[in-house]
Structure 1
């Protein structure tokens, strides 16, 4: 990624963080795109260059873990089976070793709780998951040598993405910490192992 792309990504993430903070304070209905832009230090024009709606502004924050999962899966040792690689990548991608990751999870918890009652936010979350599933198909195809349109590849990508989504939603609904027992990494690895036990069979 070049310097310009990194700057754009950093700007998008800053907007996402400010949007998440404002949504947590007042709910999405009580926030305008102009307020988000002002808090992020950008103009409304810049905001709308990146996002069509205020709800879409949180997508980079929600998508961060998925991108990390795909990177780890693509880099997993060739000797691992697909189920082993999926579970290991899920555990490592969802880990929260430091305060930045734990802070991101606090935002994620607030957003997912709000999304349960906000169709627009829910749509953003589901879109992030669909995009992750589509990208996962390509990673799995490269790893297995199968066509990304192959039925097994599609089923594996759909089921694995759903397992991670359910694990994160389960965590967000409760009060478990971002690290340790009951955390996203713990639930994600457990969900993936339960799912992939069938794939090993």
Structure 2
């Protein structure tokens, strides 16, 4: 079945969410730019306001609060978009690949810059994660996005595995792969490695965390 095209209202909402998320990410990332050995300006990050994010994204404060409960929530769409690309690549990838290789392949593609998906997005994620080390509310958003992605990953894996798959095994694989992606991004963000190295690190972490699990090879 062909997926219905989003309505004009839905597309406008998505564009607004994206603009707000990018503005919020840039502001938070500015306070995580000191480097792996530096200490981000936690006080400055706390000083970022919803008003500032709204102004930077060209929307009213009322519009901001229509979509987001807190200023930290505003970065969630940007983080979720990266996860969504990983899951889409996994779902649409070659069905003949064993699940471990499919997970690694999709992670590499999702974290590799391409037309329409510049590496600057990874730099924003790096800044957010560096700031989040000193901002519990921002860190909570990061963990919430990954919790949601783990549940969605289990659903994608269930489709790949077929009806005979053990539901517990699906959750274990999803948890291991999702944790691998999260740890890879956090480790990469804390380093000075260029964006191009994030993909290889993610594939390595996913491979090592799923190696001890019984995976499908059909």
Please give the TM-score of this superposition, normalised by the length of structure 2. Answer: 0.84
Match of 1:153 among 162, 170, 182: 170
- Please tell me whether residue 3 in structure 1 is matched to residue 20 in structure 2: no
Cα pair distance change 1:34/1:143, threshold 3 Å: same
Question: Contact (CA 8 Å) 2:29, 2:125: kept in 1 or not?
Answer: no
Match of 1:171 among 173, 182, 188: 188
Tell me how far apart the structure 2 counterparts of residues 81 and 118 of structure 1 sit (CA, whole Å): 39
Cα pair distance change 1:12/1:110, threshold 3 Å: same
CA shift for structure 1 position 166? 0.3
Question: Contact (CA 8 Å) 1:112, 1:169: kept in 2 or not?
Answer: yes
Match of 2:80 among 56, 60, 63: 63
| 1:71-94 Cα deviation digits (max 9, x unpaired) | 011112221111111111111111
Q: RMSD over aligned Cα, in angstroms?
A: 1.9
Tell me how far apart the structure 1 counterparts of residues 200 and 53 of structure 2 sit (CA, whole Å): 33
Tell me how far apart the structure 2 counterparts of residues 5 and 184 of structure 1 sit (CA, whole Å): 32
Which 4+ stretches in 1 moved above 6 angstroms?
none
Structure 2 portions without partners, runs of 5+: 1-5, 32-43
Tell me how far apart the structure 2 counterparts of residues 50 and 200 of structure 1 sit (CA, whole Å): 41
Tell me how far apart the structure 2 counterparts of residues 148 and 30 of structure 1 sit (CA, whole Å): 49
Tell me how far apart the structure 2 counterparts of residues 33 and 70 of structure 1 sit (CA, whole Å): 30
1:19-34 to structure 2, matched below 5 A, reads 19-25=24-30, 27-34=44-51
Tell me how far apart the structure 2 counterparts of residues 148 and 23 of structure 1 sit (CA, whole Å): 41
1:1-201 to structure 2, matched below 5 A, reads 1-25=6-30, 27-97=44-114, 101-146=118-163, 150-179=167-196, 183-199=197-213
Deviates more, 1:125-134 or 1:101-110: 101-110
Question: Contact (CA 8 Å) 1:160, 1:192: kept in 2 or not?
Answer: yes
Cα pair distance change 1:6/1:147, threshold 3 Å: farther
| 1:106-162 Cα deviation digits (max 9, x unpaired) | 111110001011100000000000010011111111111248981100101111100
Q: Secondary structure at 1:101's aligned position in 2? A: coil
Tell me how far apart the structure 2 counterparts of residues 2 and 123 of structure 1 sit (CA, whole Å): 32
Question: Contact (CA 8 Å) 2:79, 2:142: kept in 1 or not?
Answer: yes
Q: Secondary structure at 1:175's aligned position in 2? A: coil
Higher-helix-fraction structure: 1
- Higher relative contact order, chain-length normalized (CA < 8 Å, sep 6+): 2
Deviates more, 1:14-23 or 1:86-95: 14-23
| 1:46-91 Cα deviation digits (max 9, x unpaired) | 1011110000001111112110011011112221111111111111
